[in-house]
Amino acid sequence: MIRINAGDSKGCCDRLSRRTFLQLGASGLASLSLPRILQARGNAPAAKDTRVILLWLEGGPSHIDLWDMKPDAPAEYRGFWRPIATNAPGMQITEMFPRQAKLADKFSIVRTLHHGDTDHIGAPHILLTGRVGPTVGSPAPTAPSMGSIVARTVGARGPGLPPYVVVPNVGGGKYFGGHYVGHAYDPFDVGSDPNSASYKVHNLTLSGGISVARLDDRRGLRRSLDTLRRDSDDSGSFDAMDKFEKQAFDLVTSQNVTRAFDVAGESEATRNRYGRHTWGQSTLLARRLVEAGVSFVTVNMGGWDQHGDLKAKMETYLPAVDKAVSSLFQDLEATGLIEKTLVIVMGEFGRTPRMNTGFGNLPAGRDHWNAAFSLIMGGGGIKGGRIVGKTDSKAESIVERPVTVEQLHATVYHALGIDPSLQFLDRGGRPIPVVDGNEPIRELL
């Protein structure tokens, strides 16, 4: 069975279940589910040859501790670490990111992103889909994710590959899916930790007792049974089915696909450079996938809901992110793919600039903050070494150049060559554009 597994969920502070709704199966291609996935993208318009890697810091990273530090603020605001200079004039980031500081000319910081939701239901939906959606009492998604829009409009850049992948698993990613553009554009869930010795992409594994030869026999049998209807078909639908079924078959059997998912094909030095942990190896896998032709890869990095024990958690998380992000930019530049690959690092909001006094039995942390927070993005034609927007002396509010989530999405679609006014019908039959507003972040273009 080709199965997109849900993976385990790691809830945030809302304590609500985050088990994904995503599970798609096809037994030996006897079902047309996967061919239909591929068929649905077959009419996608031409766009720029750009790919996206989204490093999704689920839970909300602390902007004042990472990308918008305020060393002159009172101690309960400025936190535990100091800013350091980067190779981009005037740009400082946390001292916990020394590797990124050496290549900050490759990315830019947006410091004034904001939106109107402070919970782990609505906020991720806004960031991932560009639209206000569910509430705590009704957590179901109401709009397609950015990755699903890309899958629907662009498709994959290489043969036999899924257009949209989540690594290492969907986990709590309720809002990664296609919703009204169709579940055919939900992400391909790797469903396995590429840092594990038992790493195996189950989605590409045939069920027990089904060999590739037997699978091909089934395809041949079906074609024989359909001969009479095929002869009388003037619409070309059977020829189209052959095409997309072949692509589904290639997804399971293609050496190109197998190689793309095989992080063991990298040298030990490269794997160590990214970090021998889930986040590092997942980022390395994301790089391999875009090199092979996947159009949108989300690396799902959960655990940033740090209401307590901020210092200890950050001292584990930040070096891991630093190795992964810096290695990714280094490799994209070395392979010449940096102009074709847009990298985004963000979560659903920031954290309160003023630290709390503790959370339960844990020492001090930071709570949710949506009034002003940061992200980084680079590659894919985005200018590097820039800072967009400015917050006040405590990183609490915006004083210059507010940036909306809609502008972020319009920037991504601009980089991909997708018309932001392109419309799809929602579940009620109403035409909905891929983003409300078509104004990108002009400073970065």
Question: Does residue 78 sit in helix, strand or coil?
Answer: helix
pLDDT score, position 135: 86
**pLDDT at residue 37 greater than cutoff 80:** no
Question: Which range is least confidently modeled, 24-28, 34-38, 150-154, 229-233?
Answer: 24-28
Asked whether residue 237 carries a pLDDT value surpassing 60, the answer given is: no
CA atoms 68, 72, 77, 81: torsion sign? positive
Q: How many CA atoms lie within 13 A of 284 on its CB side?
A: 26
Report which of residues 349 and 157 the model is more confident about: 349
pLDDT at position 426: 93
Who's near 431: CB < 8 A, 6+ residues apart?
Answer: 423, 424, 425
**At 424, phi and psi to the nearest 5?**
-130, 155
Whether residue 148 has pLDDT greater than 90: yes
Q: Calculate the alpha carbon distances from 331 to 161, 257, 338 in Å.
A: 21, 20, 8
What pLDDT score does 11 carry? 60
pLDDT confidence of residue 231: 52
Say what the pLDDT of residue 26 is. 34
Q: 250-287: per-residue pLDDT in tens? A: 666 667 888 999 999 999 999 999 999 999 999 999 99
Q: What are phi and psi of 142, to 5 degrees?
A: -125, 0
pTM of the model: 0.85
Q: What residues pair up with 93 in beta bridges, in sequence order?
A: 84
Report the SS3 class of residue 301: strand
How much of the chain, in percent, has pLDDT values that exceed 70? 78
Task: Read off the pLDDT of residues 157-198 as tens digits, 9 standing for 90 and up.
Answer: 988 899 999 999 999 899 999 999 999 899 999 999 999 999
Q: What's the pLDDT score for residue 253?
A: 66
Residue 307 has pLDDT above 70, yes or no: yes
Average pLDDT over residues 235-259: 60
From 252-261, 300-309, 415-424, the region with the lowest mean pLDDT: 252-261
Stretch 88-105: mean pLDDT: 98
- Residue 205: its pLDDT value, please? 55
Residue 341 phi/psi, 5-degree rounding, is -130, 115
Cα pseudo-dihedral 238, 241, 242, 246, rounded to 10? 180
Q: Which helix (H) or strand (E) holds 263?
A: none
